[in-house]
Amino acid sequence: MSLALFWIFAAITLASAVGVVFFRSPVSAAMSLVMAFVGLAALFVTLDAFFIGVVQVLVYAGAVMVLFLFIIMLLDLRADERRPVKLAAWAGGGAVVGGFMAVLVQVVGSLPALQQTKPALANPAVNDVAMVGFALFRNFNLPFQVIGVLLLVATIGVVVLSRRELK
Amino acid sequence: MATLANYLIVSGLLFSVGLAGVLLRRNILIIFMGLELMLNAANLSLVAFSRFNLGQDGFPDYNAQVFVFFVITVAAAEVAVGLAIIVALYRARQTTHVEDLDTLKF
Amino acid sequence: MTSAPWIILFTPLAAAVAILFLGRFSKPLSAGLAIGSAVFGCALSWWVFFQPDSADPAIRFYWMDFGEQLQIPIGMTVDHLSRVMLVVVTTIASLVFIYSVGYMRTEEGYWRYFAGLSLFLFSMLGIVLADNFVMMFIFWELVGLSSYILIGHYFKKDSAADAAKQAFIVNRIGDFGFLLGILFLWAATGTLMFGELTRGVAGFADYPIYLTVACVLLFCGTVGKSAQMPLHVWLPNSMEGPTPVSSLLHAATMVAAGVYMLARIFPILAAAPHALDVIAWVGGITCFAAALMATQQDDIKRILAYSTISQLGYMVLGIASAPTADVPMFHLFTHAFFKCLLFLCAGSVIVGMHHEQNIWKMGALKNKMPLTMLAMFVGSLALAGCPFFSGYYSKDLIIAWAVESHPVLGWLSVATAGLTAFYAFRLFFVVFLGKPRGDHARCASESPLVMLVPLACLAVPAFIGGWPVIEKLFFHIEEPQHIPHALHPILWALFAVGGGSAFFLYRGAAKDPISIPLFANRLYIDAGYAWGVRVIQDGGAAVLSWADRWVVDLLVVQVPSKLAWVCGFVLRFLQLGNIQAYAFFFGAGAIGLLYLLIFK
C-alpha cells in the first residue's frame, strides 16, 4: 500500500517536473509545476512530515505559484516561438544531466545501508508541528530571527527593484 | 515499503529534471522554475534522511525538517527578488529570452 | 653633594626648553636664561670641584633593566677627571655665552642660537658626567645634534647647511665604530659601567686581540668627534657656524669629548698596547698633517680650525704615550682656554671687519683693535708654545712623553711644534701688522665691552693656566725620565725659528709669499673624498638604474603583466555571455568534482 502510494506520487511528481521542462507555454509549465509541488507534498506526507507537506502546499503551490502566474500575466508571455534547436546545447545539457544521474545511481547503488526500509516510529501518531516548533525555537532561535531579517531585506529589495524610475 | 534508496533516486531524478530545465530552456521564467525544482529535490532528500534516521527518542530528526523550513523560506525570498529582477529586466530589454541577454559577451 | 651634578646637568636643559617657548618674545630674556644657567652651572661646578671625595652612594636609576645581562643605568660619575672637565666646560661656556650677546646682537635667529647653545651645554655635561657607555653614547649623539643645529645656524646659506650635514654624517661614521666598540666590550664583560669595565678588563687576558679590536672601535668615536685623520674634514667646514660656536664647540669643549672619552677608558686602553699604537699613529699623523694644512689657509677661522685638529692630535698622541690620562687632559685644559681665546679674538676681528674672514683682506689692525690684538697675542704665544705661557707646559709634556715612548712620532710632534709657531704668527702678523689691504680693514673698529671682557677673562688662564702651581691644583703629573737633554732647547729654538720666520715673511707682505698648493688644498683629502663619494654614488646609481630597468621593469613588471594579459586574452573566450553556458560549466565542474571526490 505504502509502496504503491510512493510510486504513484513519485510518478506524478516526476511527470509534472518533466512537463515543466517540456511545455512550450509558460502557463502550462507553471500549472505543471504546481502539480509537481503537490506531488512532492504528498511524498513528504508518506515520510510522516506532515508539517513540511502542508508548508510545501501553502508556500509553493500557493504563494510562489501565484507569484509566477502573476508575473506571466504581467509580462504577457506567450508560448515560445519555435527557434532552431541547438544540438550542441542539448548535447551538453544532456551530458551534464546524464553524468549527474550516473554519479547518483552509482553512489546509491554502492551503499547497502540505503536499502533499509522505514524504521518504525516510537509513536505512530506524530505531533510533528510541535516537534518542529520545539526544534525551531529551542535550537535555531537565532537563525530563525536572521531569516526574518532576510525576508525583510528581500521585501525592501523587491520594492526598490520594482520602482519604475530605476536607473 | 519504499527504501531510502527509492527516495534518493526520486530526489535525484527530480534534481536532474530541474537541471535539464535550467540548461535547456531559453525562457528565463522556466529556468527559474527549474531552479525551484532543484531546491525541492534537495528538500526531499533532507526529509527522507530525517525519517530514515530516527533520533534516540524514536522520532524523526526534526533538525533536518527545520533545515527544510529554512530552505523553503529562503526559496520564497529568492523567488520574490528573482521575479522582481526579471520584471525589471523585461522592462529594460522587452525580452525574457536568455539568448537575447548577452551584453556581457566578449 | 650627590644632587649637585644632577642640578648642573639639567639646568641648561631647562634653560633650553624655556628659551624655546619664551625666547621668541624677548632677546634679553633668551640671552639671560642661557647665561644665567651657564653661570649658575659654572659656580656649582667650582663648588663641586673643591668638595672632598665623598663616600655617598651616587644617585642612580635604571633606565632599562633586562635583568643581570643588560642593565642600562642613568647615573653620575663625580671623580677627579669629570670635575676638571666640568670646570673647564662650564667656565668656558659661561664666557662664550656672554661674548655671544655682543657677537650675535645683529644676527637673525637670536633665541634659536641661545637655545642651541644651552642644549649643547646640557649634552656636553652629560658626556662628562656619564657613568656608563650607553648614557655617554646618548649624550654623545646629542652633542652631534646640537652641533648640527649650531653649524647650520645660517641654514639659508647653502654652504652652512652642507657643512652641518657633513659634520653630522662624518660623525655618524665614527659613532658607528664607537657603538660597535661598546657592544664588543659589553658582550665580553656583560657590563656597561666604566668602573666595572676597568675591573672586567682582566678577563681579556686570554684574548688580547679581542680587546684591541674593541678599543680601536671605541677610538673610531674619538676619530669622528675629535676630528682625527681621516675623519677630520668636517671640522674646518663647520666654521660656517657663528664664531662663538666655533669657539665653544669646535675648539674648546665638544671636540675634546673624544679625548675625554679616551681618558675615561684609559685603564682599559692601558691593557691593549696594540690599540694604543694605532691611537698614537693616528694622533701623531693628524697632529703633523693638520699643522701643514694650517700653514697655507687664508680664512682666519680655518687656520684656527686646522690648529685645533693639530692640537687634538697632540692630545690623542698623549693618550697613547703618557702613563696617566692627566697628561693629555692637562693639554686639553690649557688648550681649551687659549683656543677659545683665539677664536673669540677671531670673532672680534670678524665683527670689526664686517664679517670679512680672509686674512689677506685685513692688515694693520693693531691700531684699530689694540685690545683684541693684545688678547690674540697672548693666545698665539700660548698656542705656539712660548715659554711661561700655558701651552708651553702642556704641549712640551706630551712631546716629551711621545719622544720617550714613540720616538718617530715624538720627533714628528717636535717638528709640528715649529710649524705651530709659524702658522700662529703668520696669522697674527698678517692680520695685525702690515698695511690695510681692503676698505673694511681701513674702517675697522674695536668690539664692544661685552666681547672684550670675556677676552680678558680668557687671556689670564691662557697665560698662567700651565704654571706648576695651577697644574698641581688640577692634575697629578709625572715627568718622563729618559728624554734627551736637548729636547727643551730644541723646542725653544723651534719656537723662535717658527715665530721669527713668520715675522720676516709676513711682516709687510701684501700677499702670501709662499704658495704650496698641496697644503693650501688640504693634501687633497677633501677633494679625494668628494671624488670617492661621486664615483661610488654614480657607480651605485648606474647599477641600480640597470637593475631597475632590466630586473624590476622587465622581469618583475613587464613579463608578468604580459603573461597575465595573454592568459586573460585566452580565457576571455570563455565569456560567452550566455547564462546557460555558464550553468553548463558550473554543473560539469561540480559533477566532475563529485566524481573525483567520491570515486577516486
pLDDT averaged over consecutive 10-residue blocks of chain C (600 residues)?
Answer: 80 89 83 88 87 67 78 82 88 88 80 88 89 88 90 86 88 90 83 77 74 87 86 85 84 84 85 86 89 85 89 88 85 89 87 80 79 87 85 84 84 87 86 78 78 85 82 78 77 84 78 76 81 89 92 90 93 81 88 86
Grid cell, residue C243, equals 664664531
Grid cell, residue C328, equals 693629555
When pLDDT is averaged across residues B82-93 and rounded to a whole number, the result is: 87
Chain A within 8 Å of B76 (Cβ-Cβ)? Answer: yes
- Report the CATH number at residue A3: 1.20.120.1200
Q: Is the pLDDT of residue A1 over 70?
A: no
Shortest distance, CA B60 to any CA of chain A (angstroms)? 8
3-state secondary structure C419-455: HHHHHHHHHHHHHHCCCCCCHHHHCCCCCCHHHHHHH
- Report the CATH number at residue B42: 1.10.287.3510
Does A163 map to a domain?
Answer: yes
Among partner residues A13, A64, A114, which is closest to B4 by beta-carbon distance? Answer: A114
Shortest distance, CA C574 to any CA of chain B (angstroms)? 8
Helix axes C256-264, C208-225, angle to 10 degrees: 160
Q: Are C133 and C160 in contact (CB under 8 A)?
A: no
Does B106 map to a domain?
Answer: no
Which residue in A has a C-alpha nearest to residue C598's C-alpha? A107
Grid cell, residue C361, equals 683682506
Q: Angle at Cα A55 formed by Cα A52 and Cα A61, nearest 5°?
A: 125
The pLDDT score that the predictor gives to residue A53 is 92
Does A28 map to a domain?
Answer: yes
The pLDDT score that the predictor gives to residue A145 is 93
Q: Angle at Cα C123 formed by Cα C181 and Cα C255, nearest 5°?
A: 65
Does A35 map to a domain?
Answer: yes
Give one word for A111, left, alpha or beta, with left for phi > 0 and alpha for psi -120 to 50. Answer: beta
Which runs of E-coded beta strand occur in C363-424?
none
**Cα-Cα-Cα-Cα dihedral sign, residues C529, C534, C535, C540:** positive
Q: Which of A37, A38, A158 to mutate to test the interface with B (most CBs of B within 10 A)?
A: A158
AA identity, residue C43: A
Residue at grid coordinates 502550462: A28
Counting other chains too, the contacts that C13-20 makes at CB distance below 8 Å and 24 or more residues apart are C13/C118, C13/C119, C13/C122, C15/C118, C16/C115, C16/C116, C16/C118, C16/C119, C16/C122, C19/C111, C19/C114, C19/C115, C19/C118, C20/C111, C20/C115
Does B50 map to a domain?
Answer: yes
Among partner residues B6, B19, B30, which is closest to A100 by beta-carbon distance? Answer: B19
DSSP A82: P
Listed residue (C389, C418, C233, C412) closest to C317, CA to CA: C412
Does B62 map to a domain?
Answer: yes
State whether B106 and C572 contact (CB < 8 Å): yes
Among partner residues B22, B26, B105, which is closest to C577 by beta-carbon distance? Answer: B105
Q: How far apart are CA C410 and CA C416, in angstroms?
A: 10
Q: How far apart are CA C549 and CA B24, in angstroms?
A: 54
AA identity, residue B51: R
Chain B within 8 Å of C590 (Cβ-Cβ)? Answer: no
Shortest distance, CA C572 to any CA of chain A (angstroms)? 20
Name the A residues in 81-100 with CB < 8 Å from any B CB.
Answer: 83, 89-90, 92-94, 96-97, 100
Does A140 map to a domain?
Answer: yes
| Close Cβ partners of A42 (under 8 Å, ≥ 6 residues apart) | A5, A9, A12, A53
Q: Are A18 and A37 in contact (CB under 8 A)?
A: no
Does B30 map to a domain?
Answer: yes
Q: How far apart are CA B87 and CA B20, in angstroms?
A: 24
Q: Are C35 and C26 in contact (CB under 8 A)?
A: no
Distance of CA B41 to the CA centre of its chain: 6
Listed residue (C54, C53, C59, C73) closest to C7, CA to CA: C59
Does B9 map to a domain?
Answer: yes
Chain B hits for A97, CB-CB cut-off 8 Å, are 16, 19-20, 23
Grid cell, residue C82, equals 669629570
Q: Which whole-number Å values give the CA distances from A67 to A24, A52, A60, B77, B85, in the listed order?
A: 19, 20, 10, 12, 13
* A83-93 per-residue burial string, b: 16 or more CB within 10 A, e: under 16: eeeeeebeebb
AA identity, residue C203: G
Q: Which whole-number Å values give the CA distances from C49 to A24, C41, C80, C220, in the listed order?
A: 113, 12, 8, 31
Q: How many CB contacts within 8 angstroms connect chain A with chain C?
A: 21
State whether A103 and C595 contact (CB < 8 Å): yes
AA identity, residue C152: G
Q: Are A61 and A41 in contact (CB under 8 A)?
A: yes
Q: How far apart are CA C78 and CA C508, in angstroms?
A: 52
Chain B within 8 Å of C598 (Cβ-Cβ)? Answer: no
Grid cell, residue A49, equals 512530515
Q: How far apart are CA C73 and CA B43, in angstroms?
A: 75
The helices-and-strands tally (H runs, E runs) of chain B is 3, 0
* Residue ranges making up the domain that contains B82: 4-100
Of A77, A100, A119, which one is at a domain's C-terminal end?
A: A77
Q: Which stretches of C253-299 are DSSP H helices?
A: 256-264, 266-270, 273-294
State the pLDDT confidence band at B16, using cuts at 50, 70 and 90.
very high
Max Cα-Cα span within chain A: 59
Chain B within 8 Å of A106 (Cβ-Cβ)? Answer: no
Chain C within 8 Å of A101 (Cβ-Cβ)? Answer: no
Chain B hits for A36, CB-CB cut-off 8 Å, are 14, 37, 40
Chain B within 8 Å of A15 (Cβ-Cβ)? Answer: no
Q: Are A98 and B45 in contact (CB under 8 A)?
A: no
Question: How confident is the model over C415-427, as pLDDT tens digits?
Answer: 888 888 888 888 8
Q: Which chains have 3 or more CB–CB distances shorter than 8 Å to chain C?
A: A, B
The pLDDT score that the predictor gives to residue A149 is 94
AA identity, residue B81: V
State the pLDDT confidence band at B37, using cuts at 50, 70 and 90.
very high
CA atoms within 13 A on the CB side of C351: 26
The pLDDT score that the predictor gives to residue A152 is 94
SS3 category, C65: strand
Average model confidence (pLDDT) for chain B? 88
SS3 category, C72: strand
Among partner residues B19, B103, B104, which is closest to C587 by beta-carbon distance? Answer: B19
Listed residue (C447, C451, C426, C291) closest to C359, CA to CA: C426
Q: Which stretches of C108-239 are DSSP H helices?
A: 110-129, 133-151, 158-189, 194-200, 208-225, 234-237
Give one word for A166, left, alpha or beta, with left for phi > 0 and alpha for psi -120 to 50. Answer: beta
Polymer length of chain B: 106
Chain A hits for C587, CB-CB cut-off 8 Å, are 96, 100
Listed residue (C433, C588, C580, C430) closest to C514, CA to CA: C430
Helix axes C4-22, C27-50, angle to 10 degrees: 170
Question: How confident is the model over A135-148, as pLDDT tens digits?
Answer: 889 889 999 999 99
> How is B27-65 classified by DSSP, letter by letter?
BHHHHHHHHHHHHHHHHHHHHHHHHHS--TTSS--HHHH
State whether B59 and A150 contact (CB < 8 Å): no
- Count CB-CB contacts under 10 A for residue C93: 30
Q: How far apart are CA C359 and CA C430, in angstroms?
A: 7
A73/A3 same-domain check: yes
Chain C within 8 Å of A131 (Cβ-Cβ)? Answer: no
Structurally, chain B folds into a number of domains equal to 1
**Cα-Cα-Cα-Cα dihedral sign, residues C582, C588, C591, C597:** negative
State whether B22 and C572 contact (CB < 8 Å): no
Q: How far apart are CA C431 and CA C297, in angstroms?
A: 13
Grid cell, residue B8, equals 534518493
Structurally, chain A folds into a number of domains equal to 2
State whether B77 and A151 contact (CB < 8 Å): yes
Give one word for A19, left, alpha or beta, with left for phi > 0 and alpha for psi -120 to 50. Answer: alpha
State whether A92 and C584 contact (CB < 8 Å): yes
The pLDDT score that the predictor gives to residue C205 is 67
**Which of the pair, C10 or A85, is modelled with greater confidence?**
C10
Q: Are C414 and C401 in contact (CB under 8 A)?
A: no
Does B105 map to a domain?
Answer: no
Q: How far apart are CA C341 and CA C452, in angstroms?
A: 11
Q: Which of C572, C574, C578 to mutate to test the interface with B (most CBs of B within 10 A)?
A: C578
Chain C within 8 Å of A100 (Cβ-Cβ)? Answer: yes
Among partner residues A49, A96, A114, which is closest to B65 by beta-carbon distance? Answer: A49
**What are the beta bridge partners of residue B27?**
B97
Shortest distance, CA B50 to any CA of chain C (angstroms)? 23
Among partner residues A96, A106, A107, which is closest to C588 by beta-carbon distance? Answer: A96
Grid cell, residue C483, equals 728624554
- Count CB-CB contacts under 10 A for residue C182: 20
The pLDDT score that the predictor gives to residue A80 is 65
* Residue ranges making up the domain that contains A47: 1-77
Of A62, A77, A92, which one is at a domain's C-terminal end?
A: A77
Shortest distance, CA B25 to any CA of chain A (angstroms)? 7
> Using omega within 30 degrees of 0 as the cis cutoff, is the peptide bond preceding C230 cis?
yes
Chain A hits for C595, CB-CB cut-off 8 Å, are 99, 103
Question: How confident is the model over B47-69, as pLDDT tens digits?
Answer: 999 988 888 888 888 888 999 99
Chain B hits for C579, CB-CB cut-off 8 Å, are 28, 31, 98, 101
State whether A116 and B52 contact (CB < 8 Å): yes
Chain A within 8 Å of B4 (Cβ-Cβ)? Answer: yes
State whether C573 and B106 contact (CB < 8 Å): yes
State the pLDDT confidence band at A81, using cuts at 50, 70 and 90.
low
Q: How far apart are CA A50 and CA A48, in angstroms?
A: 6
The pLDDT score that the predictor gives to residue B106 is 65
Q: Are C207 and C215 in contact (CB under 8 A)?
A: no
Chain B within 8 Å of C575 (Cβ-Cβ)? Answer: yes
Does A101 map to a domain?
Answer: no
**Which of the pair, C211 or A53, is modelled with greater confidence?**
A53
Grid cell, residue C54, equals 665623598
